[in-house]
Structures are given as C-alpha cells and as structure tokens.
Structure 1
Amino acid sequence: MLDGFPGAFFVKGVLVGLAIAAPVGPTALILVRRTLARGWPAGLATGLGAGTADAIYGLVAVAGLSLIGDFLMAEREWLAFIGGVILVTLAIVSWRSHIADRIAEKSLTVVGLAGQFFSILVLTLANPMTLLSFVAVMVAIGALPEEGENLTTASAYDVHFVLQLVLGVLVGSVGWWFFLVALSLAMRKRLSQQWLHSFNRVCAVGLLLFGGYVLVEAVRWAVE
C-alpha cells in the first residue's frame, strides 16, 4: 500500500523498528531503570545504543549480508551465553543497589554515557535471534521488495532502498525508546522512594528471569 509513495521504504523501516522494539524485554527494563536512577541522559544513551543495534541487525537482514548472518547463527550459543551472563550480572547489581542512592550521585560523564550506550549495544547484538525477528517482521509488512526475497537474494536491493529502510528502523526503534524515557521521567516524579525501590526489585527479578532463559537457550543450542 505504501509502495507508490516517496520514502515508502523509510516508513516501512519505522514500522519494523517499532515492531521490534515495542515488546517488553530486558532492554526496556534496563532503559526504564537507568532513566529512573540516572535521569534522561542515561535513558537517551541507552535508547540510542539499543536503536543502533536494531539498525545494524536491520542492515544485515535487508542487505543480505549472509556471511554475517551465518556467523551470528553459527555462534549463537556463545553470543547467548554472553548475553545471559550480562543480564544475570545486571540483575544482581540492580537488586543490591538503590535508585535513591543513584539519583543522589553526580551526573554521568561523557565516558559514563558512552558506557551506557555501548553496554546496551553489545547486549542487544548478543541476541542473534533478533535477526530472524527482523526477517519475519519485514516479510509480514512487505518490507522486502519482492515476495520470496531472503537473506541471500536481498543483497540485490537498490542501495537507496536499503538506506531508507535501515534509517527507518533506527528512527522507529529510537523513537520508541525515547518515548519510554519520557514515560519513565513522568513516573519518576510521581513515585515515592518506596515505590521506586520496589520497582527496582521488580526490574532485577525480570532481568534475572530473562538472563536465566537466555542461558538455558544457550545450553540447548550447544547440545543440539
């Protein structure tokens, strides 16, 4: 339906980015917690990191970079193990820390913000199954130029369309994360310290469950 309009692939990319980012997962928990604890700069840095990772996976999916895709899938158990360990570590740190104490600390430095960006970038890239999610969503909304395109044949894309789609994924994903940052800031102003502490514990448990699931998947893939 959008194919006759200029920038149609950009719009489709935005839809893909929203569809991939919107489901509640560990990235959302981490972003909300960081925003509550360290303010909007930490939230925006986290959102940019997650959005950049989504754009990278979008590029791999739409441009048909099959060597990268094959490598990610071949090493998925190790990547999943790394991601699981990171999530469990974050869960433990979250459980033992207090948001009120973090709020009282000085603002993050440039190095600190870079750490927020790259940590979520690595964590998101450590889940190669995201690549399959991108392909599935792109097929569902007609983001592939012709029916039957896949990771290999999609390499024939026009560069212009590839750039539109990947930029759209970045905008859609980052837009969703920035919306969560704004929502978290509004919630931060209305919640008492006790509620913030309780939410922090909920985030920790959620991260632990996600991390445990990823580790179980890593073991399952390793023994297949």
Structure 2
Amino acid sequence: MVEGFPGAYFLKGILVGLAIAAPVGPTALILVRRTLARGWPAGLATGLGAGFADAIYGLVAVAGLSLVGDFLVAEREWLAFVGGVILVTLAVISWRSHIADRVDEKSMTMVGLAGHFFSIFMLTLANPMTVLSFAAVIVAIGALPEEGDSLAAASASDYRFVVPLVLGVLIGSVGWWFFLVALSLGMRRRLSRQWLHSFNRVCAVGLLLFGGYVLLEAVRWAVE
C-alpha cells in the first residue's frame, strides 16, 4: 500500500488540475463565450463538464489503467477527427450567432445546461493525448508515491494515493474554469455590444484554428 499523507496527494492533484486546465485552448474559448452569451449557469455547466473529463483522464493516468490508455492512443485518429469536426462546427455557429444578444440566466433550462455539460465533456474526452499530458505533469510535479518512480508503480488498489489525487485534479480543474466564469461575468457587465460582437468573432476564429489543427493531426496519425 502507499505510505504518506493523503492530503499531500490531494494538494498535488489540485496543482495537476490547474496545470492541465490553465493553458488557453478551445475549452477556455467555449466557456468564456457561453458565459458571455448565456450567463453564469451555462459557464458553470461547461466548467463542470470539462472538470469531470479532466478527472477521468487523471484517473486513467494515475491508476495505471493501461488498457484504457492504450485504447485511447490506438484510436486517437477517429477521436481527434470527431473532436476536430465538433470544434469547426462550433466555430461556424459562433461566427453566425450574435453574442451581444445575451440570454437571461433564468431562461436556461436543465436540458440546456445538461447539453452544455455533456458537449464539453465529450469534446474534452475526444482528445486522447490529454492522458499523456497528465502523465507528464504528474511526474513533473512529483505527485507519485515515494516508492514509485513511474506511473506504472501506481495501481487502482492504491486508493489512498489515487482517490485524493484524482479528487484534487477535479477541484483544481473546476476551480480554474469557475475562475474564468467569474472573469467572463465581469467582462459581460462592462463590455459594449460592439466589443462583445468582436470578441465573439475572435472566439470563432480561434475555435476554427484549433479545429483545423486537430483535423490535421488526425490525418497525420492516420497516414503514419
């Protein structure tokens, strides 16, 4: 069994979650745009979806679930293709919509919020290379048990290591997304309609670039 204080792994998990979530990417653009257009409920639902997907990838990375990890890497071509298509579709929708026509938070239904949650959840899971990023960050931060010098040393039975670390990843990731929601709400109250419209176009172009990159990666992996 793993020796040590579980709280230390929880804190290290928070650092891992922050390190994975903080870099600017398509998830951040989608979350900010949804918050600006539909208010904090849409932003929180999006952040929770991304956070739970990160936690699942964190579990795969730290629990030594090699079969799942091998499957994700082996099927990365079609997963990346699906993710790329989703991003390009969202880019087109964003470009054609008007973020300045903001929706009242009270009009958001549970079905709509569930759609925000599961759409970003599936989009995040469609990037199997995330598990490799988790592995690299976990090793870099030193979040492994003392007697283990690699992720292979951890197993699902080492629950005193796996559970607090994965919970920390969830808290760190969701905490970052909720922080972005708060920043976006500040922008929402202060920016003019013209600025919101311009920002919406920037988000659309960013999503299109991310989607194009992912599709190119899918093609590259397919021909290797």
User: Residues of 1 paired with 2:106 and 2:184: CA distance?
Assistant: 19
Indicate if the aligned counterparts of 2:88 and 2:208 stay in contact, CA closer than 8 A. yes
Shift of residue 185, structure 1, vs aligned partner: 0.1
- Equivalent pairs, count: 221
Indicate if the aligned counterparts of 2:41 and 2:105 stay in contact, CA closer than 8 A. no
Q: Which moved more, 1:78-87 or 1:102-111?
A: 102-111
Tell me: CA distance 1:105–1:46, structure 2 relative to 1, closer, same or farther (3 Å).
Answer: closer
Q: Where does residue 196 of structure 1 map in the other structure?
A: 196
The TM-score, its normalising length taken from structure 1, stands at 0.95
Q: Where does residue 150 of structure 2 map in the other structure?
A: 149
Q: Where does residue 63 of structure 1 map in the other structure?
A: 63
Equivalent residues in 2 for 1:1-224 (5 A)? 7-103=7-103, 107-145=107-145, 146-150=147-151, 152-155=152-155, 158-224=158-224
User: Residues of 2 paired with 1:100 and 1:50: CA distance?
Assistant: 25
Q: Which residue identity does 1:204 align to in structure 2?
A: A
**Structure 1: runs of 5 or more not aligned:** none
Q: Which ranges of 4 or more aligned residues in structure 1 deviate by more than 2 Å?
A: 3-6, 100-106
Q: Which moved more, 1:108-117 or 1:94-103?
A: 94-103
User: Residues of 2 paired with 1:104 and 1:158: CA distance?
Assistant: 46
Tell me: CA distance 1:166–1:105, structure 2 relative to 1, closer, same or farther (3 Å).
Answer: closer
User: Residues of 2 paired with 1:4 and 1:155: CA distance?
Assistant: 16
Once the two structures are aligned, what percentage of the paired residues are identical? 84
Tell me the alpha carbon deviations over residues 137-171 of structure 1, each in whole angstroms, 9 at most, x when there is no partner: 00001111145323x43226521211100000000
Cα RMSD (Å): 1.5
Q: Which moved more, 1:101-110 or 1:177-186?
A: 101-110
Indicate if the aligned counterparts of 2:6 and 2:161 stay in contact, CA closer than 8 A. no
Q: Which residue identity does 1:78 align to in structure 2?
A: W
**Structure 2: runs of 5 or more not aligned:** none
Q: Which residue identity does 2:25 align to in structure 1?
A: G
- The SS at the match of 2:149 is coil
The TM-score, its normalising length taken from structure 2, stands at 0.95
